[in-house]
Structure 1
Amino acid sequence: MAIIDETDRKILKELQRDASLGLESLGEKVHLSRNACWRRIKALEDSGVIRGRVALLEPGKVGLGLTVFMFIRTSSHDANWLTKFARATSDMPEVLSAYRMTGDLDYLIRARVSDVAGYDQLYQRLINKIDMSDVSASFVMEELKETTELPL
Structure 2
Amino acid sequence: MLDDRDRRLLALLQVDADTSLASLAEAVSLSVSACSRRIARLAEAGYVARRVARLDRRRIGLPTTVWVLLKTGRHDGEWLDKFRRAIGDIPEIVEVHRLTGNVDYIMKLALPNVEHYDDVYKRLIHRIELFDVSAYISMETVKADGPLSTDFA
C-alpha distance in structure 2 between counterparts of 1:92 and 1:33, whole Å: 45
TM-score under structure 1 length normalisation: 0.94
1:131 Cα deviation from its structure 2 partner? 0.6
Which of 72, 76, 81 pairs up with 2:74?
A: 76
**Corresponding residue of 1:113:** 111
Structure 1 stretches of 4+ with a deviation exceeding 4 A read none
The count of corresponding residues between Structure 1 and Structure 2 is 150
One-letter code of the match for 2:30?
A: L
In structure 1, runs of 5+ residues without a counterpart are none
Q: Deviations over 1:3-25 (max 9, x none)?
A: 21111110001000100012111
One-letter code of the match for 1:120?
A: D
TM-score under structure 2 length normalisation: 0.93
**Corresponding residue of 1:36:** 34
Query: What are the within-5 Å matches in structure 2 for residues 16-95 of structure 1?
Result: 16-95=14-93
1:114 Cα deviation from its structure 2 partner? 0.7
C-alpha distance in structure 1 between counterparts of 2:141 and 2:88, whole Å: 24
C-alpha distance in structure 2 between counterparts of 1:43 and 1:131, whole Å: 45
1:148 Cα deviation from its structure 2 partner? 3.9
- Note the aligned Cα RMSD (angstroms): 1.1
1:9 has 2:7 as partner: yes
1:93 Cα deviation from its structure 2 partner? 1.7
SS at match of 1:44: helix
C-alpha distance in structure 1 between counterparts of 2:101 and 2:114, whole Å: 27
Identical columns (%): 42
One-letter code of the match for 1:86?
A: R
Q: Hey, which of these two has a bigger chunk of helix by percent?
A: 1
